[in-house]
Each structure stands twice: as C-alpha cells, then as structure tokens.
Amino acid sequence: MPGDKGVEILGEVAIVQEYSSFGLYRWAELFPDKVAVDDGRMSLTYRELAEKVDMLAAGMKNEGVKKGDKVFVSIPNFAEFIIILFACVRLGSVVICGNLQFKDQELDYLTGLMGQPKLAFMNRAIQREIMERAFPELKIVTIDEKDESLEALGTLFAAPTEVGVNMFSLDNDMLVVFTSGSTGVPKGVELTVRNMLIPMCDMIERFHADSEEVLFVPVPFCQTSGMAGILIAMLLGGKLVTATRFDGMAALELIEKHRVSLQFCVTTMYAREIDAYNSAAIKPDISSLRTGTIGGGPVVKEYMTWFEENADCRLLNFYGMTECAGMIAGDFEDSPENRLNKGGRPCRHVTVSILGGNGEKMPVGEQGEICCKSPGVTRGYYKNPEMTLHLIDADGWLHSGDIGIMDSEGYISVIARKKEMIIRGGYNVFPAEVENLYCRRDDVLLAAMLSYPDGDLGEKIAVFLQMKNANHPSAEEIREYAAAHLAKFKVPDKVLFIAEMPMLPSGKVDRVKLTEHLQKQRV
C-alpha cells in the first residue's frame, strides 16, 4: 500500500487488517494532526475526522441503523459527506448516493425503487420535500452550506464507546451509485467494499502515488469518480481538497494555495482550467501538479498535452464505468506515445478481453466489445435482475457496451459506444470518429453526433457543435470539412449549432436532451 515509491500490493486479508475503513484509523494514529480534508468551509485533521466518524456512527446506531440498512445521502462535496460515508462503512450500512441534479421525476423513480431508507442526509429543499412526501416517518438531517461547525451532524453525535465493533468487511454492501442516465433512466449500481477497495489500490499503483499527495476532487462525491478520489486520499494518508462549485480560476487558485499534486476532474473542468489560465494576466502557480485522471473523449489528447507543456503534469487516461471501477488505466511511467494515444492497459487485478458478437475472443488489433473480469465488477443493478443478466454474462464477463481494440502490448483503445453506433445505408458509423475530427478544429469546443430515422438509408446523421466564437463557418462548410477527411457515408447529413452543449453531472454529453432537441428541429 502507500509508501515512498508508490504501492505495495497486498493480499485481501492483509488489506483488511492494515486498511480497515480504507486506512482512516491507521493514518489517524500515524499522522493525527495532518489535514485529511478541506472543503473550503472547514478542514479536519485525521484525528478529528476519525473522532467525528466514530461519534456519528454511534449516533446512527442509536437511531437503529445497522449492517445492511440503507442511508440516503444527497449533499454537495462537503466534509460531512466523508464523515457520513465512513460512519456507514464502520456500521456496515449502505450509502444510497443521491444526485443533487435529480429533479422530481428522477427522485420519484428513485424513491419507488429503493423504498424507505433508515436515515437521510440532504441539502436541497426541493429534494427534501419529495423525500418527505414519499416517506413521512423518515428522519432527515439537513446539511447547509453555511454550517461550518458540523452543527447539523452534531445533533446525531453520541459517545464513540457506543459504536461497538467495527463491521468493516470486503463482502459488505457499501454503495448504490446511480448512473448518469445519458441514454435513459438512472440505474442503481450495487457496490461492495471489495468493489471499491481493490480497484483503488490498482489506481494508486498506476499513479505511483504516496502519502505526500494533495488531491483536488471537485467531481461530485455521489459518482464513482468522486468516491474514488475520497477513498484514494484516505488509503494514501494524503490531503483531500474539494469545492462545492467549480470555477476554472477558483480551481487554479486552490491548486496554488494547497500545492495540489493530483486532480480528479472531468474533461469540461480541465477545459475551464485551461481557459482561465490562458486568459489570466497573472498566471497562477500550478507547478505542484504531478498527475491526474482524465476520461475518454474527443479532446483528451489536447488537454493532456496542454498540462504536460504548461505544468509538467502527466494526466492519465482512466477507463472504467460505474459498474466496474478502474478497469483500464494509463501508467505514470508510460511513454508519451502510449500515454497520449492509447487508453492504457488493464489494471493489476483486471482481466480484459475483446469479444466478438458471438462471444468469441477477437485477434489482436481487431474490433470487438470491451469485456472484463475484476474485483471491481458490481454484483448487479439494484432490484433489476433482468438488466443485470444483460450486463454480466454466464461466463462472468462484464460487457461494457464499448467497442475497442487491444494491441500486441496489451494497450486498449476505446473506439465508440456500441449502443451509439449508427448504421447509415448499411455502413457502420461510430460517433467518436466524427466528433474527434471536428474537435481537432480550432473553432470547435464540443461536438456530439446522433442519428435520426430515414426511410431510405435507415438512419441519417446529425452533428451538434458548440463553437468557440459566434463568427463561425456555415453548416455546409462544416459538412465539406468532413467530406474532405472522411468516407462519404460518415459525413453528417445535418449540422446543428448549439450555444451550450447540455451536459450531465458526470461530464458526459446529455444525449437524451440532444435527441429531444433534434426531434423538435425535425417537426
């Protein structure tokens, strides 16, 4: 585990012995006065964090929360989230991760799916009203942004001696995380302690990280990427810095203030940091940056290159999904060629295979679906066995839904989402290829490609473009650009300019909203 030169890989028994509650109590003993978390409202040392976790766990136990019980949490990136998370880990209870962006339809669906939790921690009044309407007897603790002294949580605190035995176990259910719903209703993904712990150890190994790391984690804690940031910080004994709202310049100022070395951001956040830095008259000092995560997308290479050139910071491609954390990753010591142009290799505890349509293993260099076996693979979708059967086959392979290839060195490149593939006149067209082409233009900020039905070709292609400036080429000029670089069947039939690309909290393009917009355009 964490050390001066990265990670020592331990067996599962040793991990549980050494890193109960993801290392929190270990570091509280070794580095009691070291700052563990700073959310801009408050900072807590490892000793303080462990004490608050124990007091909350004792109080929750007094409220009747026990192993396996559901605790609903829908609050911003506050220090309280981390206290609640580890109190639940201590008790063996399950955190149901609510998303602050969810509105009435999504929350009505969620409440119907999960049933009444034992306890809830919430922030938004509109969400609380829906929860109170669904569960009139539910005890809800409201966490306010202005609360800088843990006043709300303090109403539950009890003497730590009452918490009892630490229920930490690899087999405990730990989380239900809801997917972002880019193509449909959110799905609840069940994750155990094992699902989260072993992949985080793998990620630390790829980062070559140690206890001196300062992590900036602005991505929502309710998502697996934000959760990964919390758990990796705790496993390392590092310092976690977060923010409740993201602003490019504010992020750069936090990096300079805290000497951040490792970032967990989505691509849109990196874009805002780059824009803020480039437009700043006085450049902030970001020389402390060493590495960070970045997901797949059309502009990944551009952002990775920028950070290498301006901060000597090696962003690493991390490929995974809510259903399997930390599947494929770059390595800090990878060559620039591999780091910038490939998706990385399977992590230490992961087996990846590229499978064809009939489940056959595809030869090196040939396309197929990326499938994996790993300790990080979910046990399934919450209360949805039918969808789970589609996710994990009879041989135990998790089907990612992504098309990719593996080269002779084991590096994997993701080509496209299987479900997003467009069949135009009998030809397969992968949106990512066309989106990447447009995003290489200096005047394009974001691109997203969809299909719409056509009686002759089956499907036609529409591309949405968010341009950097109002003065931009015409739709026909944009089509001609694609025609000069791509086969005719890949050229968009329709080009639509959009002022701001709709995005999900995860940083992905909201294709549902784009589809609705496209349908209105065609009426």
Dump pLDDT digits (tens) for 126-154.
Answer: 899 999 999 999 999 999 999 888 999 99
pLDDT at 402: 87
pLDDT at 3: 39
Task: Give the β-pairing of 444-454 and 427-429.
Answer: unpaired
User: What domains are defined for the chain?
Assistant: 421-522 (3.30.300.30)
Least confident window among 11-20, 34-43, 323-332, 500-509:
11-20
Q: Is 453 left (phi over 0), alpha (psi -120 to 50) or beta?
A: beta
Nearest to 221 by CA among 509, 506, 28, 27: 506
pLDDT at 6: 38
Q: How far apart are CA 68 and CA 358, in angstroms?
A: 38
Total Cβ atoms within 10 A of residue 389: 12
**522 pLDDT more than 70:** no
Contact 93, 66 (CB under 8 A): yes
**271 pLDDT more than 60:** yes
User: What tokens were used for 376?
Assistant: 């990080």
Q: Please give the average per-residue pLDDT across 33-53, as a whole number.
A: 97
Its pTM stands at 0.84
User: What tokens were used for 221?
Assistant: 């804690």
pLDDT at 508: 77
Q: Please give the average per-residue pLDDT across 270-285, as a whole number.
A: 94
- Going by pLDDT thresholds of 50, 70 and 90, the confidence category of residue 428 is confident
User: What tokens were used for 494?
Assistant: 């329709």
**12 pLDDT more than 70:** no
3-state secondary structure of 16: helix
Total Cβ atoms within 10 A of residue 36: 25
Contact 240, 227 (CB under 8 A): no
pLDDT at 186: 75
